[in-house]
Amino acid sequence: MPPEKQPSVSRVQFIERFVSRGFNYTQACDAYEAMVSLFEDAIVQGRRVNIGKVGALMPVRMEPKVVHMGFKTDGGKLRKVRREYVLGRRVKFKFNLHKAFIRQHQLGWF
C-alpha cells in the first residue's frame, strides 16, 4: 500500500509507545501534550523543529505576490472579469528527511 493511502499515526499510537517505554498512562498523556505544545509554539514562532534522527520540520517563508483571477460568479453565472488579489507574506512548512535516515532504512518509496 502506498504511504499516502496508509492510515495516519494518531495520538493513540503516541500514548501506546510512551506506555511501552515505561510511562504510566497519565505520564504518557502529559508527555504527548508537552510534545504537541512544543510543536505549536515552534510553528507559531516560525522556527525549525528537529525531530531526532528522522528529519526536520522547516518553515519556508513566501514573499507577497499578486494573484490574477479572470472570472467572477454572479448568481451561478460565470462572468469574465479581471481581478487581482494580493497575497501577503506567509509561511508554509515542509518536512525534510535526513539523508542518513533514508539510507539507513532504505526507503524505496522515497
| Spans of all domains in the chain | 1-45, 48-110
| Predicted local distance difference test score (pLDDT) of residue 5 | 80
Q: Tens digit of pLDDT for each residue in 75-110?
A: 888 889 888 989 999 999 999 999 999 889 887 665
What is the rounded CA–CA span in Å between residue 32 and residue 29?
A: 5
Judge if pTM exceeds 0.75: no
Q: Tens digit of pLDDT for each residue in 28-79?
A: 999 999 999 999 999 999 999 999 999 999 999 999 999 988 888 888 888 8
- Reported for 60-67, long-range contacts at CB under 8 A and 24+ positions apart, including other chains, are 60/91, 60/92, 60/93, 60/94, 61/89, 61/90, 61/91, 62/89, 62/90, 62/91, 62/92, 63/89, 64/88, 64/89
Q: Which three cell numbers stand for residue 32?
A: 504527548
What is the rounded CA–CA span in Å between residue 73 and residue 79?
A: 6
